[in-house]
């Protein structure tokens, strides 16, 4: 990559001729991540508000394209790693964040559970231990005061504030559980995302091997199928298999994106809404 060419192109970003500006922007965009350092340096050394704004927009455009490509690859590769999917969504708002730091925070919580875990514990005992560490020691709770805040859907913010919406708390909880071979998975219940403890080796009253359900938004409260029945009745919805059994990782990421879209719509952030819908479309092109 020619440094002189890059710097010359950056200087042309403030050109008043929109055709020239568009050509220059597209050329710089084609370089991808490699050009971001140069753009950031030019921004720091500039006192031109128009140039700074155009640099910011171009950096965002490059970083958003990265998120799209990563999410598309994650989906095409089978969407096996839920945590990786959540980290990709996190990059939409926080592209420069240290992912390993977030992974380490989750590993630290997992380790605390693991140190107290006895493998002949019953399913209920394992969940109570998870609840003790997750809610009792680390202090996670549902953000009931500002539930619509988009920050509730970003992993780094939930890990630092210890407050989140239903799906992010449930996702973190289930990721920790699965790392410990505790079979807890997300269930895509309308208006309320819950978790299911699954054990196909035991006889249960449910299909799909579900022993019981967990409400991650309410400090890991344990409940049964009848409670799901009642909830669906309140919503005037007929019982459907998808409301009772674990959903795919792709469905979880789609729901996180829908939550973000709803949050930004309420804030009137039209550009973010359109970008997030663009990310959601990745799953509709299957």
Global pTM reads: 0.88
CA distance 231 to 194: 12
pLDDT at 186 over 80: yes
pLDDT digits (tens, 9 = 90+) for 94-108: 999 999 999 999 999
Strand order in the sheet with 221-223: 184-187, 194-198, 210-215, 221-223
Instruction: Label residue 202 by pLDDT band (50, 70, 90).
Output: low
pLDDT classification of 178: cutoffs 50, 70, 90 = very high
Query: How many CB atoms are closer than 10 A to CB 103?
Result: 15
Quote the tokens at residue 92: 């939409």
Predicted pLDDT at 66: 94
| 51 pLDDT more than 90 | no
What is the C-alpha separation between 274 and 271, in angstroms, rounded? 5
Hey, where are the domains in the chain? 3-76, 82-284
Secondary structure E strands in the chain: 141-142, 163-164, 184-187, 194-198, 210-215, 221-223
pLDDT of residue 45 exceeding 90: no
Q: What is the mean pLDDT of the chain?
A: 90
Q: Which residues contact 258 (CB under 8 A, 6 or more apart)?
A: 280
Does position 140 have pLDDT exceeding 90, yes or no? yes
Per-residue pLDDT, averaged over 65-74, amounts to 96
Residue 171 CA: distances (Å) to CA of 23, 74, 86, 105, 114: 42, 17, 9, 14, 18
Identify which has the larger pLDDT, 109 or 2: 109
């Amino acid at each position: 990559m020619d440094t002189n060419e890059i710097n010359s192109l950056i200087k042309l970003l403030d050109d008043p001729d929109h055709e020239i500006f568009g050509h220059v922007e597209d050329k710089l965009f084609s370089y991808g991540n490699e050009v971001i350092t140069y753009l950031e340096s030019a921004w720091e050394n500039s006192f031109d508000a128009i140039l700074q704004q155009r640099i910011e927009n171009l950096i965002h455009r490059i970083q958003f394209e990265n998120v799209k490509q990563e999410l598309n690859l994650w989906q095409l590769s089978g969407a096996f790693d839920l945590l990786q999917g959540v980290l990709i969504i996190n990059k939409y708002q926080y592209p420069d964040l240290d992912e390993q730091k977030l992974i380490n925070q989750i590993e630290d919580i997992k380790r605390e559970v693991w140190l107290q875990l006895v493998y002949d514990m019953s399913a209920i005992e394992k969940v109570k231990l998870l609840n003790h560490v997750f809610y009792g020691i680390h202090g996670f709770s549902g953000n009931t005061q500002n539930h619509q805040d988009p920050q509730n859907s970003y992993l780094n913010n939930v890990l630092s504030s210890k407050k989140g919406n239903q799906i992010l708390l449930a996702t973190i909880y289930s990721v920790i559980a699965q790392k410990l071979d505790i079979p807890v998975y997300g269930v895509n219940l309308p208006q309320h995302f819950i978790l299911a403890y699954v054990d196909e080796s035991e006889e249960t009253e449910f299909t799909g091997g579900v022993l019981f359900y967990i409400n991650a938004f309410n400090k890991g409260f344990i409940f049964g199928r009848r409670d799901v029945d009642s909830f669906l009745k309140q919503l005037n919805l007929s019982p459907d298999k998808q409301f009772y059994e674990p959903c795919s990782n792709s469905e979880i990421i789609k729901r996180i994106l829908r939550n973000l879209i709803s949050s930004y719509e309420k804030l009137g952030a039209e550009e973010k809404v359109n970008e997030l819908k663009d990310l959601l479309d990745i799953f509709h092109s299957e």
